[in-house]
Amino acid sequence: MSSRTFALRYIGKAALGVPRDLVKTAVAAVKPIRPTVLIYNCTFVCDARCQMCNNWKRGDRKAEMSFARLEQAMDHPFWHAIENLNISGGEPTTRNDLPDLVEMFVKRLPRLRKVGINTTGLTPHRAIPQLTRIVRHCAERNILFSARVSLDGIGEIHDQVRQVKRGFDKASETITAMSALADEVPQFQFGLAATIFATNMKDAKNLLTWARAKKLDIVFNMLRFTDAMLGNSELQEQIGLGSEEEEFMRRFYLERVQEESVFSGQTFMYLHYADMIANGYKRTMPCPFQSQGLLLNPNGELFYCENSKEIGNLAVEDPADVYFKAENIAYRSTFKDTICTNCLSPCQVNVGAMKQFVPYAKFLWRAYRVKRHPEQHRETLPNVP
């Protein structure tokens, strides 16, 4: 399925919920509301040993919430407002019950619009049948499903980043199978995701050319450091970007802005990455996690977002009690002036944009200007504190 067609389907679904979204956003400004977006790191066990992520070091199957315990915890009206679910890891397909997990979420989340899964694709004999089952289950229930295989370069570059022998060849097998399935199932969007940093930066354009030749959508994420999500803050000094690398990235992202539609969610993300590099890493991008998001880790740890501290544990506590706890809400109210100010996270930025009309309208005007005159990018930067 083409990315454009899938995007139109998603926008159509989102449009139906605009009145509700506007009400929720307005209400969230004055009192806490239930979460509408959820990121679930279903495991930290991984089949890669990535240079930019330490999740594989903390993989512990015995510490994970069992399927039965998770299903019990999700059988609660607290979760009934969830519209967007992203399942990540570690490597989600290392869980043999991954399709069961998705089917459980579909059953327990009555307002679910879209499910996304990120995968290494390094074990195609396991990933292909699991993802195929998930695709067909979601399609039968008219729920949009997207999956991306992480690909960080061509051939040896990818293998070097992932530190897996024949990693590129293995991932390519999964990519081929999922690309064919996306052509068959209208509710399924498939693409690639790359995390760009010093090791693979110079190969980014080769990867883009490779993806286009295969008619695959690709999103280029900027390296970020977050312990709740990636467990990698200790790597910042070792692999963080220098000034020369930052300028390469800024120009690379501006080139993507020129090529994409201003209505594309990727344009929204790329322009913001370029902005942050240019303005000293001051965030201007809206984020639903400020008022209506949650991050759940494999052992039940709950976070308001990937940069927050732990606020409770789903394995032993009622989710509503944790989420609405007065001291936790007070802690979240500090985010805009603290952890949000320099956050690079792209998580659910499209959702955040749709739920905040005025900032999104301003972005569209800026994106149009930068698209026509990228050399004037710095002059268009919004004022931030």
pLDDT value of residue 285: 77
384 located within any domain: no
pLDDT value of residue 31: 84
pLDDT value of residue 29: 67
Angle at CA 141, nearest 5°, toward 144 and 177? 55
Q: Are residues 188 and 94 in the same domain?
A: yes
Q: Are residues 129 and 186 in the same domain?
A: yes
pLDDT value of residue 112: 96
Give the percent of the chain with pLDDT over 90.
68
**Can you point out the beta strands (E) in 236-349?**
293-296, 301-303, 310-313
**What token pair was written down for 106?**
């579909």
Amino acid at the residue 52: M
Q: How many CB atoms lie within 10 A of CB 23?
A: 11
pLDDT value of residue 362: 78
Q: Are residues 78 and 145 in the same domain?
A: yes
Domain count for the chain: 2
Q: How far apart are CA 22 and CA 316, in angstroms?
A: 34
pLDDT value of residue 26: 67
Q: Are residues 15 and 40 in the same domain?
A: yes
pLDDT value of residue 19: 59
What is the pTM for the complete model shown? 0.89
89 located within any domain: yes
Structural domain that includes position 265: 241-286+356-373
263-297 per-residue burial string, b: 16 or more CB within 10 A, e: under 16:
ebbbbbbbbbbbbbbbeeebbbbbbbbbbbbbbbb
Which residue, 267, 255, 298, 231, is CA-closest to 365?
267
Report in angstroms the alpha-carbon separations of 103 from 20, 138, 148: 25, 8, 19
What pLDDT, in 10s, does the model give residues 270-286? 988 999 999 999 987 77
List, in order, residues 6 or more apart from 48 with CB less than 8 Å away. Answer: 56, 91, 120, 122, 150, 162, 163, 164, 167
Q: Please tell me the number of Cα atoms within 13 Å of 350 on its side-chain side.
A: 14
Angle between helices 243-259 and 265-278 (to 10 degrees): 150
Q: Are residues 248 and 273 in the same domain?
A: yes
190 located within any domain: yes
Q: Are residues 180 and 247 in the same domain?
A: no
Q: How far apart are CA 329 and CA 138, in angstroms?
A: 34
What stretches in the chain show pLDDT beneath 70?
1-29, 348-357, 359, 384-385
What pLDDT, in 10s, does the model give residues 146-179? 999 999 999 999 999 999 999 999 999 999 999 9
CATH code at 97? 3.20.20.70
Q: How far apart are CA 223 and CA 238, in angstroms?
A: 12
